[in-house]
Copies of this chain bind each other. A is one copy, B any other.
Amino acid sequence: MTTSLSPEDRLRAAGQRITSQRLLLLRLLDASDGHLDAESLFHAAQQEMPEINLSTIYRNLEVLTRAGLVAQRYFARDHSREYFELATTAEHYHFTCTQCGKIIEFETPLIAQVRSDLKRQHNVNIRHACICFEGLCPDCIPQSQP
């Protein structure tokens, strides 16, 4: 069981340079529930660091993702925008409500099962998977007349 490291130690452990922009990004992701896009992170970051640039956000999200500290996700049918969350949480998947935008996280061993079946049956080496669902959350499902 790992005591969660400070942003600085996480960067160090990942062999990345420690910059105030990266620390800020990690702090913002720590503070949020995750599932933020570059633009939202940019706006949040500007509160503390008004001179920070959007391309710095993008570049660092890529660095952090490749370093394994952050996970990039797609939600909803429209994959036009990338979202990010800390990679520290356990493997889980997402359901997005197309009406209100709520994201429901869930776990299941079945995806791991799919992966191992796929690996065994087709002799492939799986490096990455994108699994997401969308539809209406309980609050947004129209009720039938009582």
* Interface residues in chain A, defined as those with a beta carbon under 8 Å from any beta carbon in chain B: 72, 74, 77, 79, 93, 95, 97-98, 104, 106, 108, 110-111, 113-115, 117-118, 121-138, 141
Contact = CB atoms under 8 A, between A and B. Distances in A.
8 tightest Cβ-Cβ pairs between the two chains A and B: A127-B135, A126-B135, A125-B136, A123-B138, A79-B79, A125-B135, A129-B133, A110-B110
B136 A124 contact: yes
A91 to B, nearest CB: 13
Contacts of A77: 72, 128, 130
A126 B134 contact: yes
Question: What number of copies of this chain does the assembly contain?
Answer: 2
A126 B133 contact: yes
Contact of A130 (B74, B104, B108, B136): B74
27 contacts: A72-B77, A74-B74, A77-B130, A97-B124, A98-B127, A104-B122, A106-B118, A106-B122, A110-B110, A110-B113, A115-B133, A118-B133, A122-B137, A123-B138, A124-B133, A124-B138, A125-B136, A126-B134, A127-B134, A127-B135, A127-B136, A128-B133, A128-B135, A129-B133, A129-B134, A130-B130, A130-B131
